[in-house]
Amino acid sequence: MKIELKNICKTFNKQSNTINNLDMTINDGEFVALVGPSGCGKSTTMLMIAGIYKPTSGNLYFDGQLVNDLEPKDRNIGMVFQSYALYPHMTVLDNIAFPLKQQKVPKEERYERAKNAADMVHLGHLLDRKPSQLSGGQQQRVALARAIVKKPKVLLLDEPMSNLDARLKIEMREEISRIQKELGITAIMVTHDQEEAMTTADRVAIMKEGELIQYSSPMELYNRPKNYFVAQFIGNPPMNFLKSQLAVKDGKCQFYINDTTVDLNNHLPKIKSHNSIKDIYAGIRPYDLKLGQKGDITLDGVVSLVEPTGHSKMVNVKVGDDRIRFFADPLQKIERGSKITLTASISSIHLFDCESGENLTAETIGEGQDNKLVINS
């Protein structure tokens, strides 16, 4: 099912909008994640799609049909809640079959469909157990089976993995992705965990204060963040930021970092800007910093912390007044207090306007194209 939100606003009081002019299209069979800090409006958006909330203004369409006033029971959706919401006195089989019982599906048919849904989430051997006899991951699977047993056209997932430990989260991510692809169902997940969103969704919607900031594929968000907010939100650990200045004069473009002038002209064949100097943040992903290698940009700093992670070391470095992180080989000898030199290529640098937050070095270009540094001005 294709879902369209057009100029959607939602107001709970007369002073401000919780959702402000949201325009968004979710294609048939697509998996979309809504991500953002607490209070950004992601759960409110999902509840409007579910029909629990009605938009204050704007229109919501399912396959081209206006559904603003359509009751939740008539929207053909399945929903998985954060709290599982299982009936403690019912067996796994009865919990899964319950939505079909409400629809007055004949007993034999509803149990057959419930067993098929249980098999899909690998619970066929636990049908006679009660929820209290299940682990957290198993309870979440029951909730997922109950949502899909109705054969909905839309699957809504509200923080589905927030109550699980790290290992179970990985298992449930795999299960949810597999089932969504097998069924070819349109799925929307609300999560505060950007890693969950990046690993499961086809596209991710980054929200802030009721507005859609960027709506792109995971790799587009990572490689071409629209602004400072997206850049610091996406990525674990987040992007490093160093205070800098960008200067454009007589068609020449440079920026200054760590007492070094970096000439951008060879990477900017077409500069469309008047003479200007502006304060910026230079953003560099931790994985793009190299220790003791040749590069376009050199950063001298002092190690403040070394964090072994097994496959690598995450090293915290003080560069001037800024602190940055990078990953080193676990066998490299790096000690706290030692002086080191890091390098990076110009193509890995993002420049953000300190005032507006705009990414000055990212054009909206399709995946697979060259990631050339281009100044927007």
Query: Has residue 215 got a pLDDT over 60?
Result: yes
Average confidence (pLDDT) over 226-243: 93
Antiparallel, parallel or unpaired: β 211-216 and 260-263:
unpaired
pLDDT of residue 220: 94
Query: Is 263 in a helix, a strand, or coil?
Result: strand
Is 279 inside any structural domain?
A: yes
pLDDT of residue 274: 57
206 shares its domain with 191: yes
Is 317 inside any structural domain?
A: yes
pTM: 0.87
Q: What is the distance of C-alpha 356 from the center of its chain?
A: 22
276 shares its domain with 313: yes
Which residues lie across from 257 on neighbouring strands? 260
Average confidence (pLDDT) over 349-365: 79
pLDDT of residue 269: 41
87 shares its domain with 22: yes
pLDDT of residue 52: 94
Provide the 10 A C-beta neighbour count for residue 370: 6
248 shares its domain with 180: no
pLDDT of residue 362: 65
Rounded to 5 degrees, what are φ and ψ at 140? -65, -35
pLDDT of residue 276: 76
45 shares its domain with 22: yes
Query: Has residue 337 got a pLDDT over 90?
Result: yes
112 shares its domain with 251: no
Average confidence (pLDDT) over 352-368: 70
Query: Has residue 263 got a pLDDT over 90?
Result: no
Indicate the average pLDDT of the chain: 87
Average confidence (pLDDT) over 256-271: 64
345 shares its domain with 211: no
pLDDT of residue 361: 79
C-alpha atoms less than 13 angstroms from C-alpha of 250 in its C-beta half-sphere: 0
Is 362 inside any structural domain?
A: no
Question: Where is average pLDDT lowest: 225-229, 276-280, 321-325, 351-355?
Answer: 276-280
Contact 303, 317 (CB under 8 A): yes
Provide the 10 A C-beta neighbour count for residue 98: 17
Confidence of residue 268 (pLDDT cuts 50, 70, 90): very low
Contact 242, 282 (CB under 8 A): yes
pLDDT of residue 271: 43
Average confidence (pLDDT) over 137-157: 93
Which residue in 229, 223, 259 sits closest to 241, CA to CA?
Answer: 229
347 shares its domain with 286: yes
Confidence of residue 278 (pLDDT cuts 50, 70, 90): confident
Residue 164 CA to residue 166 CA, distance in Å, equals 7
pLDDT of residue 376: 40
Query: Has residue 366 got a pLDDT over 50?
Result: no
How far separated are the first and last CA of the chain, in Å rounded? 39
Residue-range definition of the domain harbouring residue 74: 3-226
Q: Tell me the CATH number at 201.
A: 3.40.50.300
For residue range 159-209, list pLDDT tens digits in order: 888 877 888 888 888 889 999 999 999 999 999 888 899 999 999 999 999
Answer with the residue of higher pLDDT: 375 or 129: 129
115 shares its domain with 177: yes
